[in-house]
Copies of this chain bind each other. A is one copy, B any other.
């Protein structure tokens, strides 16, 4: 397309470890910005690099593949969710309502979270190295274990069921989003009366379902639960 571009003008080099992680962070930040416009992650590496003020090749110095960048963004956000959850569970007033409200607030303030989260498995399947996938899963596992234990301590559920409850809750989040978020091609007809069923208020439905799930799991004797 272009004809004559000027020669390379490299950025300052990141030599120190802190510079390096700053570079990495810059890429993730840029991805975060682009994710707002294309929640499914439909932007090119070129766009990403340019937005981060770097060259395409540089991205590959910090990440193995395009999808690993997305996974890293997702992972960060997910850890934030875990943080919020852990904090809520540490509160003296911790109960199901608080947990559910915490999740709801997180999703409300991070609208780009669910589209990416729903894509997560697709990303893993597509173009991510074992190493990165493993690291991600281990990160998730560690938090799940910690928070799961806390849940088991706080609520009357059988030992070992906390993690399952958390997983089911997460499944509910991404699954409900997939059902309720109207795709582009239906945007124009969502107002029709026969589409009323699908004009779902995600926050409300999800909160309701989470309450049910958690209450169902904590009914006395529900030791077999989740």
Contact = CB atoms under 8 A, between A and B. Distances in A.
A198 B138 CA distance: 10
9 contacts: A7-B16, A40-B122, A168-B205, A168-B208, A168-B209, A172-B172, A208-B225, A215-B219, A215-B222
A16 B6 CA distance: 8
Interface of A: 1-8, 15-17, 20-21, 24, 40, 60-67, 118-122, 124-130, 133-134, 137-138, 141, 144-145, 163-165, 167-168, 170-176, 178-181, 183-186, 188-189, 194-195, 197-198, 200, 205, 208-209, 211-217, 219, 222, 224-226
Contacts of A219: 215-216, 219
Copy number of this protein in the oligomer? 4
Given A134-B186, A178-B171, A200-B167, A20 B3 contact: yes
B197 A144 contact: yes
A170 B172 CA distance: 9
B126 A3 contact: yes
